Amino acid sequence: MTVRDSLHRRLLIWMLLPMLAVGSLVLWQAWIDARRTADTAFDRLLEAASLAISEEVQWQDDRLWLDLPPAALEMIATQNDERVFYTLVDAQGHQVTGNAPLPGDPRPDQRDGDTLLYRDIQLQGMALRQGVRRSRLEDWRVRETFEVRVAHTREGRDALSWALFRQSVAYMLALAVLTLAALMIAVRFALAPLTRLRRQIRARDPRTLQPLELKLPRELAELRDTLNELLARMRRVKANQERFIGDASHQLRTPMTGLSARAELALRQDNPEVWREALVAMQATSTKASRLAIQLLSLTRLDNPEYQPELVPTDLNAIAREAVREHWQRCHRRNVDLGLEACDEDVWVQGLDWQLAEALANLIDNACTYGADQVTIRVNASPPRLCVEDDGPGIPPQQRLLALRPFHRGQQHGDGSGLGLAIVDGISRSHGARLRLLAARQQPTPGLMVCLEFPAPPVASSTEDR
């Protein structure tokens, strides 16, 4: 079973890891402080015992003499039953008395009064804490120096260290529990806006694409704005699809109804000539409906705001020659003279060959549909231009912008759908080209010249791509 990742868990983990590291350092410091505190407390006992012993040292029979009271050593021993050792050493380093041969301290002597030097030693396999007091007799006749060495085992120190450390650990554990509880509450409150955002998204109607309206912190506000941008793009795509469905149903209803009516009338007749006339009319209507459907699909794809094709180097001469070869037969059947005026050199632009071919197909079809007898495709190099010129009735200047709207037809008696120039306009915008509608001539008919002016590509890139 796969455990889903949780932002709540990840936040807790990434916040607890440094806390655990800091807690480990604090525990280590607590142990060091406990040891230092225990050493300080028991070192004072060593100091008191060594002072009591040094006060009992006397000079008798030309030598040091010590009558040690039992209380001097009993003050060092605690309930932990430490073993206590002492040694009295004269100025020559000879042991005068004691219950164990304790070593001296190699550190230099200090003459500013009685001093006690502490250190940890090993004696017969036992770990001891030793204190060495360097002192002298206070008799006015004799100023003999001596050392009192006192040591005891570490049972009491270790017991006190562990007791202090356990208290620190208990305090830190209680603090860690409170910190963890506060941290979990803080993380839950910090993630509450994300929970509200999730609930609002989950509660939304799947059919609505309205923007999210929710007050959020800055980081989540950026996520909300990104979601709103996505919803806006989806609304545009949906609107484009709905417009296509509406346009298609509206524009295809007439030819489909005509086909049905023609077929119904033909079935009521017995004359083969009537059937033939009906079939010819139905064939023309189906061709028109097919062309209309293709144009609707092209227009919908071009109007899609999310459609951003990648343009590649394309030769306008090659596009124009291919268009003449493809449409010459159809124009010839309609008694339309289709010609080409190409450049001697290749004209490269950034574009898509199939879209430019579709633009030429729509312009040639428009010219043939609206009464042109001569159609010429021209390619210019400077600036790069692709033009289609005809000798038809043309479009008045005041109607040229309206002609770029879908389903607008300047001549009501024409057979066009009003989509050709709208498709060409969409293709020009997708190529970053400028679409211009001009009069081809003055007399006898103005005609129409439609030009796509492309931005000139860099010479180096064009030559390399070629």
Q: What average pLDDT does the segment 409-419 reach?
A: 57
The domain segmentation of the chain, as residue ranges, is 7-104+113-162, 218-303, 312-453
Q: In this predicted structure, what is the pLDDT of residue 225? A: 86
- Point out which residues pair with 63 in neighbouring strands: 60
The CA-atom distances, in angstroms, between 84 and each of 22, 121, 151, 158, 456 are 40, 14, 6, 16, 102
Q: In this predicted structure, what is the pLDDT of residue 465? A: 47
**Spatial distance between the Cα atoms of 176 and 307, rounded to a whole number of angstroms:** 56
Q: In this predicted structure, what is the pLDDT of residue 33? A: 92
How long is the chain?
466
The predicted-structure confidence for 53-91, as pLDDT tens digits, reads as follows: 888 888 887 788 887 766 666 666 666 677 888 888 888
Quote the mean pLDDT of the chain. Answer: 80
Q: What is the pairing mode between strands 434-438 and 374-380? A: unpaired
Q: What average pLDDT does the segment 224-246 reach?
A: 78
Q: In this predicted structure, what is the pLDDT of residue 413? A: 46
Q: What average pLDDT does the segment 187-203 reach?
A: 82
Q: Which CATH number applies to 218-303: 3.50.50.60, 3.40.30.10, 3.40.50.10490, 1.10.287.130?
A: 1.10.287.130
pLDDT band of residue 109 (cuts 50, 70, 90) is low
- 286 pLDDT higher than 60: yes
The predicted-structure confidence for 172-191, as pLDDT tens digits, reads as follows: 899 889 988 888 888 888 88
**Spatial distance between the Cα atoms of 85 and 78, rounded to a whole number of angstroms:** 14
Q: What average pLDDT does the segment 430-452 reach?
A: 84
**Spatial distance between the Cα atoms of 28 and 51, rounded to a whole number of angstroms:** 34
Q: In this predicted structure, what is the pLDDT of residue 410? A: 58
Q: Residue 78 in contact with residue 163, Cβ under 8 Å?
A: no
Instruction: List % helix, strand, coil for the chain (3-state, nearest 5).
Output: 55, 20, 30
Q: Residue 380 in contact with residue 439, Cβ under 8 Å?
A: no
**Spatial distance between the Cα atoms of 404 and 377, rounded to a whole number of angstroms:** 20
Spatial CA neighbour of 370 closest among 404, 398, 423, 334: 334
- 358 pLDDT higher than 60: yes
Q: In this predicted structure, what is the pLDDT of residue 445? A: 75
- 322 pLDDT higher than 60: yes
Concatenate the DSSP letters of all residues of 406-452 into one string: TT--S-TTS---S-HHHHHHHHHHHTTPEEEEE---SSS---EEEEE
If phi > 0 it is left, if psi is from -120 to 50 it is alpha, else beta; for residue 412 that is alpha
Q: What is the pairing mode between strands 63-66 and 312-315? A: unpaired
Q: In this predicted structure, what is the pLDDT of residue 162? A: 92
- 1 pLDDT higher than 60: no
Q: What average pLDDT does the segment 2-21 reach?
A: 78
The predicted-structure confidence for 92-101, as pLDDT tens digits, reads as follows: 888 888 888 8
Name the pTM for this structure. 0.47
Q: In this predicted structure, what is the pLDDT of residue 166? A: 92
Q: In this predicted structure, what is the pLDDT of residue 340? A: 92
Q: In this predicted structure, what is the pLDDT of residue 78? A: 65
The H or E element spanning position 159 is: helix 155-190
The H or E element spanning position 350 is: strand 348-351
Give percent of the chain with pLDDT exceeding 70. 82
Q: In this predicted structure, what is the pLDDT of residue 31? A: 92
Mean pLDDT: which of 94-103, 104-113, 254-263 is highest? Answer: 94-103
Q: What is the pairing mode between strands 337-341 and 374-380? A: parallel
At 330, list the tokens: 């159809």
Q: Which residue has the higher pLDDT, 288 or 236?
A: 236
Q: Which residue has the higher pLDDT, 382 or 291?
A: 382
Q: In this predicted structure, what is the pLDDT of residue 442? A: 66
Helix H segments across 268-303?
272-303
Homologous superfamily in CATH for domain 312-453:
Histidine kinase-like ATPase, C-terminal domain (3.30.565.10)
DSSP reduced 3-state for 22 = helix
Q: In this predicted structure, what is the pLDDT of residue 131? A: 87
CB atoms within 10 A of CB 94: 10
**Spatial distance between the Cα atoms of 317 and 377, rounded to a whole number of angstroms:** 10
Q: What average pLDDT does the segment 419-427 reach?
A: 81
- 463 pLDDT higher than 60: no
The CA-atom distances, in angstroms, between 215 and each of 185, 193, 197, 218, 426 are 21, 8, 9, 9, 39
Check residue 73 and report its DSSP letter.
Answer: H
Query: What's the gap between Cα 406 and its chain centre?
Result: 41
- Helix and strand counts by DSSP (H, E) for the chain: 11, 14
Q: What is the pairing mode between strands 374-380 and 385-390? A: antiparallel
Residue 172 neighbours by CB under 8 Å, 6+ apart? 23, 26, 27, 30
Q: What b/e readout covers 2-19, taking b as 16+ CB neighbours within 10 angstroms?
A: eeeeeeeeebeeeeeeee
**Spatial distance between the Cα atoms of 391 and 440, rounded to a whole number of angstroms:** 7
Is CATH 3.30.70 correct for 7-104+113-162? no
At 211, list the tokens: 């923007």
